[in-house]
Amino acid sequence: MVTGRCADRLPGDLRHYKRGQETLSIQLDAEFMNISVAEKLYKIGSVAACSGLSVKTVRYYEEMGLLSPAVKRSPAGYRLFGETVFNRLAFIKRSQALGLSLHEIKDILQVRDRGDLPCSEAKQHLTAKVEEISVQIAALETLKGELQGILNCWQEQPSQASITRTICPNIQRD
C-alpha cells in the first residue's frame, strides 16, 4: 500500500517537470524505490560551444573513440552527448596541456571505461613524459652550447677565401 505524498500517483507513472528550458522526466516504479532521471542530451554544436572546442575537434575525438561511452545517436542520426562528455573533454584538454598524446589519453580513458581508476596508467604516461622532456632538455643544452660557440667566434667580415667556398662562413666553418 502506497501512502503519503505519492499516494495519488500510480506505479509506472511518468512525470515531467520544467526547470527553465530543461525538462526533467521521472519514471516511478511499482514500489517507488527506483527513480530514473532522463539524462539531458546535447548536440555536437552545443558540446563544442560549451567546451571551447570546434565541432570538427569534437567529431574527431568521437571518431577516435575518446568519447564513445558518452555518445548516442538521435533517430535522425545526430550525435547526442550526455553530461559526462564535458568531464571527458576537460580531462582530454588538461592531459594534452601536460603533453600527452591522444593515443596516450585514449589508453587512460579505456582503463576508466572498464570501471577502474586510471591513476597508475596516467602516472606511467606522465613519468615517461618527464623522461622524454629530460632528453629534450639535454639535446637543447647541447644545441645552445654550439650556437653560443658560433656566436662567440662570429666574424663580421670573413676572409674572401671562405666567402667564395661557403654560403655563410660563420655557420659553415671547419
Cβ partners under 8 Å of residue 150, min gap 6: 170, 171
Task: Give CA–CA dist 129/22, Å, rounded.
Answer: 43
Q: How many domains does the chain have?
A: 1
- 23 inside domain: no
Give Rg (Cα) of the chain.
Answer: 30
Task: Give CA–CA dist 123/7, Å, rounded.
Answer: 53
Q: Whats the size of the chain, residue-wise?
A: 174
- 162 inside domain: no
3-state secondary structure of 122: helix
- 46 inside domain: yes
- 147 inside domain: no
pLDDT at position 99: 96
Q: What angle do CA 120, 122, 125 make, to 5 degrees?
A: 110
* Predicted TM-score of the model (pTM): 0.68
- 106 inside domain: yes
CB 89 within 8 A of CB 58: yes
- Cite the beta strand spans of 44-114 per DSSP E: 71-73, 79-81
Q: What angle do CA 35, 39, 40 make, to 5 degrees?
A: 145
Task: Give CA–CA dist 90/52, Å, rounded.
Answer: 10
- 104 inside domain: yes
pLDDT at position 165: 83
- 72 inside domain: yes
Grid coordinates belonging to 120: 597508475
Domain that holds residue 103: 42-116
Here the CATH number for the domain that contains residue 82 is: 1.10.1660.10
CB 26 within 8 A of CB 14: yes
Burial string for 95-124 (b: 16+ CB within 10 Å, else e) reads beeeebebebbbbbbeebeeeeebeebbee
pLDDT, tens only, 133-152? 999 999 999 999 999 999 99
* pLDDT < 50 stretches in the chain: 1-21, 23, 28, 30-32
- 57 inside domain: yes
Given its phi and psi angles, is residue 141 left (phi above 0), alpha (psi -120 to 50 degrees) or beta?
alpha
pLDDT at position 173: 78
